[in-house]
């Protein structure tokens, strides 16, 4: 039996034949990023129990195999799949999505999420406790995993919560000697050996007395203060921030996570969305500073959209909007799987175009009537810059009094959204993230490449809206801007004109950001799209000294022992 066949045979013995995928067709949904990056894996393994993950890890370590841990594979920078084919060892992708249990502890104030548990399921599970998870829009909608958010320090849209973070986790790492170690930092008494720990956790064989409520954090407890520091010359949140690199938090797949313990949050009693527009960027700069420095109640959400992005999302993200609105977010993973199958199938039939699924969905969207409220569309026609601000409880009256007074003296206007308008406004902003990808898929003969930047501006930056030098600006076919304006985190999507040297252009763009004191990435993690800065690189090497987990992340070495 060949060596690779022996590997496959032994993996099947651990998790069962049906849960080891070796065909190119079957592996593609796991070896190709949701938006970016792909590469070859020897096999995709889908364990169904924690002990199976442990045994697969042991086998991989003993047989000099690269390990890529993967949850829902919804990342935007290719950080949970292989990238290229220049690794020095075979790769095993361990997909954890079958292990999706969520355990409620401390009367709903905290939860334990196992390796593949999702934010969407957590949101549903917390309903009866009148509480909610760290993220309630965005990653939640596409089935992202709880663990993935922690490993990427994902930021989310909510102003007062900051990056996903915990110091409480159960995970495995490989030490300097190349031995696999299990680290129990959950602060729950579960036993001493791996078999006992996994069994007790999965069967919930522990009680209140076994739960240690120490000083360790299960969320970022400083962010609501940090975001208010409007005169600081550093960003409020970014992935290379050493303050939030701890254990699995920010680990980017350099360890194998079995479970995390995280805080939940009380739901607001009431909320109100204000839709704000202006043609003067200084107006939003003033509002941001005054609200963050003077309001007693922080906004819950504050998402910005440029008019061009609004229009692009209205046209090119219409099908995503309708699917979520009519079928619910739980259907999105199914839709993405169907899209992948259609595109795989179209590759095998020469006369079918690339991205065939996008073409089908785009034409189907034309058959559906206008999906956005008339008042929003009219407002967009008046104003170039749009801002969705959600206030809760006591902050609602505080905001209304402020906006009435402010817009008596400044350019722009606002209106209070009905519940229906609020849902549509937030959903429209969310699906805008996919608009440039659809545009690129449909127009790929007339342009070169696209890339999406995730930029954290200094908190005191006045010129928050990008104004590029002419020699850079003229190289783009289209630019779409949206972001979390209170946090000064901007998502900037670019499609490059045909014939432009994309790598050289990207380097110019990054140098421009650095000259402004910006950090990047802000919340999507480095993946294989960004260089890991020294704080991240040192963190990765400390977690994974043999470079066996997710090598190459942050454009680092893919070779064993970081050679």
The DSSP result for 340-363, as a single string, is: HHHHHHHHTSTTSPTTHHHHHHHH
Kindly state the DSSP code that residue 110 receives in the 8-state scheme: E
Per-residue DSSP letters for 34-48? SSS-BB--SEEE--S
Runs of H (alpha helix) within 275-394 = 281-294, 307-316, 318-327, 332-347, 356-366, 374-382
User: How far is it, in rounded angstroms, from Cα 147 to Cα 261?
Assistant: 10
Strands ordered across the beta sheet of 476-484? 413-416, 271-278, 385-392, 301-306, 476-484, 489-497, 447-456
Per-residue DSSP letters for 453-507? EEEE--TT-S--S----HHHHTTEEEEEEEEETTTTEEEEEEEEETT--HHHHHH
Hey, what are 165's tokens?
A: 């973070």
Q: For residue 142, what are the contacts with CB-CB under 8 A and spacing of at least 6?
A: 34, 72, 74, 329, 332, 333, 336
Are 481 and 309 in contact, with CB atoms under 8 Å apart? yes
Query: Which residues does the chain have with pLDDT short of 70?
Result: 137-143, 329-333, 445-448
Which among 301, 302, 261 has a CA at the least distance from the CA of 164? Answer: 261
Antiparallel, parallel or unpaired: β 66-70 and 91-95:
parallel
Which among 262, 217, 249 has a CA at the least distance from the CA of 106? Answer: 262
User: How far is it, in rounded angstroms, from Cα 116 to Cα 56?
Assistant: 16
Is cis: bond before 521, omega within 30 of 0? Answer: yes
Are 183 and 170 in contact, with CB atoms under 8 Å apart? yes
The whole-angstrom distance between residue 359's C-alpha and the CA centroid of its chain comes to 26
Which among 13, 7, 11 has a CA at the least distance from the CA of 63? Answer: 7
What's the pLDDT at 144? 81
Other CB atoms within 10 A of residue 22 CB:
16
Hey, what are 508's tokens?
A: 């110019």
What's the pLDDT at 503? 87
Are 305 and 382 in contact, with CB atoms under 8 Å apart? no
Other CB atoms within 10 A of residue 181 CB:
12
Are 287 and 379 in contact, with CB atoms under 8 Å apart? no
Are 559 and 88 in contact, with CB atoms under 8 Å apart? yes
- pLDDT, tens digit (0-9, with 9 covering 90-100), for 134-172: 887 654 455 688 999 999 988 777 898 989 999 999 999
Beta bridge partners, 482, equal 305, 491
What's the pLDDT at 198? 98
Antiparallel, parallel or unpaired: β 91-95 and 43-45:
parallel
User: How far is it, in rounded angstroms, from Cα 41 to Cα 38?
Assistant: 10
Q: What is the mean pLDDT of the chain?
A: 92
Hey, what are 530's tokens?
A: 């960004």
What's the pLDDT at 258? 98
Sign of CA dihedral 444, 445, 447, 449: positive
Q: CA-CA distances (angstroms) from residue 155 to 347, 364, 414, 458, 515?
A: 36, 33, 27, 16, 24
Runs of H (alpha helix) within 49-104 = 50-62
For tokens 């609004």, the residue is 310
Which among 143, 154, 148, 137 has a CA at the least distance from the CA of 121? Answer: 143
| pTM for this entry | 0.93
Hey, what are 339's tokens?
A: 């899209």
Beta bridge partners, 563, equal none
User: How far is it, in rounded angstroms, from Cα 557 to Cα 559?
Assistant: 5
Which among 508, 500, 458 has a CA at the least distance from the CA of 477? Answer: 500
Helix axes 435-442, 356-366, angle to 10 degrees: 110
What's the pLDDT at 32? 84
For tokens 């609501």, the residue is 224
Task: Determine the 3-state secondary structure of 44 from DSSP.
Answer: strand
Task: Classify burial at 325, counting beta carbons within 10 Å of its beta carbon; exposed 0-12, middle 13-18, buried 19 or more.
Answer: middle
User: How far is it, in rounded angstroms, from Cα 471 to Cα 441?
Assistant: 26
């Amino acid at each position: 039996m060949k060596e690779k066949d022996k590997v496959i045979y032994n993996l099947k013995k651990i998790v069962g034949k049906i849960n080891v995928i070796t065909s190119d067709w079957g592996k593609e949904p796991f070896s190709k990023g949701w938006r970016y990056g792909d590469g070859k894996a020897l096999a995709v393994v889908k364990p169904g129990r924690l002990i199976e993950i442990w045994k697969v890890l042991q086998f991989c370590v003993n047989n000099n195999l690269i390990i890529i841990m993967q949850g829902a594979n919804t990342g935007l920078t290719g950080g949970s799949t292989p990238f290229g084919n220049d690794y020095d060892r075979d790769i095993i992708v361990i997909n954890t999505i079958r292990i999706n249990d969520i355990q409620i502890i401390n009367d709903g104030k905290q939860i334990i999420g196992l390796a593949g548990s999702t934010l969407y399921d957590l949101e549903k599970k917390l309903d009866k406790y009148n509480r909610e998870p760290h993220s309630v829009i965005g990653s939640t909608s596409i089935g992202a995993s709880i663990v993935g958010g922690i490993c990427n320090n994902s930021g989310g849209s909510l102003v007062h919560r900051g990056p996903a973070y915990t110091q409480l986790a159960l995970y495995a790492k490989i030490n300097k000697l190349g031995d696999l170690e299990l680290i129990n930092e959950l602060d729950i008494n579960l036993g001493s050996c791996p078999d006992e720990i996994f069994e007790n956790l999965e069967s919930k064989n522990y009680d209140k007395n076994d739960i240690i409520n120490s000083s360790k954090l299960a969320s970022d407890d400083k962010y609501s203060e940090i975001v208010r520091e409007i005169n600081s010359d550093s960003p409020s949140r970014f992935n290379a921030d050493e303050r939030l690199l701890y254990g699995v938090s920010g680990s980017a797949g350099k360890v194998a996570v079995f479970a995390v313990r995280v805080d939940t949050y009380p739901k607001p009693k009431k909320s109100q969305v204000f839709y704000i527009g202006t043609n003067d960027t200084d107006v939003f700069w003033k509002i941001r500073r005054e609200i963050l420095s003077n309001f007693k109640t922080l906004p819950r959400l504050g998402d910005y959209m440029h008019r061009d992005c609004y229009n692009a999302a209205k046209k090119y993200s219409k099908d995503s909007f309708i699917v979520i609105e009519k079928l619910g977010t739980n259907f999105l993973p199914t839709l993405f799987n169907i899209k992948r199958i259609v595109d795989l199938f179209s590759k095998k039939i020469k006369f079918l175009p690339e991205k065939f699924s996008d073409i089908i969905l785009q034409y189907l969207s034309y058959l559906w009537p206008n999906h956005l409220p008339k008042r929003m569309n009219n407002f967009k026609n008046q104003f170039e810059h749009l801002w969705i601000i959600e206030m809760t409880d006591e902050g609602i009256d505080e905001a209304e009094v402020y906006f009435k007074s402010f817009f008596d003296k400044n350019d722009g206007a606002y209106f209070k959204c009905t519940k229906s308008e609020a849902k549509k406004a937030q959903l429209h902003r969310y699906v805008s993230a996919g608009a440039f990808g659809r545009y690129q898929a449909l127009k790929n003969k007339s342009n070169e490449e696209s890339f999406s930047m995730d930029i954290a501006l200094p908190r005191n930056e006045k010129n928050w809206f990008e104004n590029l030098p002419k020699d850079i600006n003229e190289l783009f076919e289209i630019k779409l801007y949206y972001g979390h304006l209170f946090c000064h985190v901007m998502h900037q999507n670019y499609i490059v004109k045909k014939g432009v040297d994309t790598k050289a252009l990207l380097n110019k763009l990054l140098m421009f950001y650095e000259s402004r004191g910006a950090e990047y990435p802000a919340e999507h993690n480095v993946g294989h799209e960004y260089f890991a800065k020294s704080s991240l690189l040192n963190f990765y090497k400390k977690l994974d000294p043999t470079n066996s987990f997710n090598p190459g992340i942050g454009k680092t070495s893919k070779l064993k022992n970081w050679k």
